[in-house]
Amino acid sequence: MPSSPTPQPYPETEIHVIDTLFERAGLQRNLRGNAPGVTGRMRFERLSREDLMTAAPVPRVAANSVQWLSVPAWEKNSWLWHGFSTRRGGLSRVFCEDGAPGELNLGFTAPHGQAMDDRGTVARNRQLLAEAVSGDADTPLIALRQIHSNLVVLADAGHEQPCKADGLMTDERGLLIAIQTADCIPILVADRKRHAVAAFHAGWRGTVKRIVESGIGRMRLAFGSRPEDLTAAIGPGIGPCCYAVGEEVLSSFESQFAYARELFHEVYDSDPIRTRYPMLFLTQRAPGHSDIGPSLHLNLAEANRRQLLAAGLKPRAIYLVGGCTSCRPEMFFSHRASEGRTGRMMSVIGIRP
C-alpha cells in the first residue's frame, strides 16, 4: 500500500495572508509549532488602574454654593456660557447620607427600582445651576430625553422638551442647552466665529453610532460652521481606569473604527493581597470564565476625542476636563459606582444675550 505523501509547508506568502486575515479578526495564529489553531483574543497593552487614572480638577464654587467645573481656556470668551456640574451643592436628599449636605441632582428619572427625587427639588436644582453658570436663575435650560442614539436636534426658546435625542445645538442667545450624565461622556462644542454651540451625550453605544461626528456635521449644515473654527471640551465621565467592558463592546468598536484597538487596555486587579497571594484566589472554573486575570477597559473619552479629530477639529482646540466619575463618587454621580442608585449631572453651554 503506497505511503501517504508528506505534508508540505505552506509558502511564506500564504502564511502572511492567513496572519493578516487573523489580525483583522482580532485573532492570532498559534506560533508554538504544535497543532494549528487560534490562541484567542490578541493581547492589548497591559496597565494598572493607577496608570489610567486622571486627576479631577478643582471645582468652582458659586455664590449659591453650587460646585461646577469650567474650561479655563474658555473663560476668556465673553460671549460664551458653559459648565459641568458636580453633585455638590443643591437641595436633593435622595442619594446622600443622613446629615450630609443637600446634593445637586439634576435628573427627573428614577433609578431602577428606587424612589424618584421630588420634581420640584430637581427643578430648583436646575435653576441653581443656571444661576451659577449664567448669573440668572431664570435663564431657560433645555434638556433631552436621552436614548443612546446619534440624533441631534436644534434648540430654541420655543423648544418643546423633552424630545428624544442625544445632542442639542443652537445659535440663539440667552438660553442654556444641556445633556445629563452619570458616567457617560459629555462633550460641549463652540463655534468661535459664528457663535453657535452644541452639547452631546456619548455613552459607548452613542460613541459607536458616531454621535460627535454626526453632531459636527449637523453644525456645519445648520450654521455653516467650519471645523477649524470649532473648539470642544470633554467633560467628566467614567475613566479607562474603571470602565471594564465585555467582548461585545470591543466587537462593536472594531466594526466601526480602524483605530478601535487603540482605545482598549487590559487592566489587572491592583489589590495588593490578590497580587501577593494569587493562590488564595484560584478557582475551578474553566479558563476564560474566572474573574481572575486582566479585564478589558475602554477609554471612552479618547474615543470621542478621536471623533472630534476625525471631524476636523485641531488637537489644540480640544480640552479634556478630567475626573473619573466612578473613582470620585463623593464629587460626581456615577451609575456604575453606586450600582444604579444615583442622580444625574448636567453639562451646559449657551450664548450670552
Q: Which residues pair with 197 in a beta bridge?
A: 170, 190
How far are the Cα atoms of 10, 83, 93, 140, 187 from residue 128, in angstroms, in the given order?
71, 12, 16, 12, 21
**Percent of the chain beyond pLDDT 70?**
79
Better pLDDT: 178 or 94 = 178
In a domain, 258, yes or no: no
In a domain, 330, yes or no: yes
Least confident range of 15-19, 226-230, 305-309, 337-341 = 15-19
The mean per-residue pLDDT over the stretch 292-315 comes to 93
In a domain, 234, yes or no: yes
Q: What pLDDT is recorded for position 288?
A: 44
Shortest CA distance to 143 belongs to which of 117, 124, 158, 162? 162
In a domain, 307, yes or no: no
For the chain, the domain total comes to 1
Q: What pLDDT is recorded for position 50?
A: 83
The answer to whether 189 and 198 have CB atoms below 8 angstroms apart is yes
Q: Which residues, in sequence order, are CB contacts of 231 under 8 Å at separation 6+? A: 73, 74, 189, 190, 192, 313, 317, 318, 319
Q: What pLDDT is recorded for position 294?
A: 81
In a domain, 322, yes or no: yes
pTM: 0.82
Q: CA Rg, the chain, in Å?
A: 24
Q: What pLDDT is recorded for position 304?
A: 98
SS3 at position 215: helix
Q: What pLDDT is recorded for position 38?
A: 38
Q: Which residues pair with 61 in a beta bridge?
A: 67
In a domain, 132, yes or no: yes
Please count the residues of the chain.
353
In a domain, 302, yes or no: no
d(CA 134, CA 49): 37
In a domain, 221, yes or no: yes
How far are the Cα atoms of 10, 104, 110, 159, 317 from residue 168, in angstroms, in the given order?
56, 22, 23, 11, 20
Q: What pLDDT is recorded for position 5?
A: 55
Q: What pLDDT is recorded for position 175?
A: 97
Q: What pLDDT is recorded for position 340?
A: 85
| Mean pLDDT, rounded, of the chain | 86
What range does the domain containing 214 cover? 54-239+315-351
The mean per-residue pLDDT over the stretch 208-217 comes to 98
Q: Residue 72 is part of a domain; what is its CATH number?
A: 3.60.140.10
SS3 at position 262: helix
Q: Quick check: 274 pLDDT over 80? A: no
CB neighbours of residue 332 within 10 Å: 28
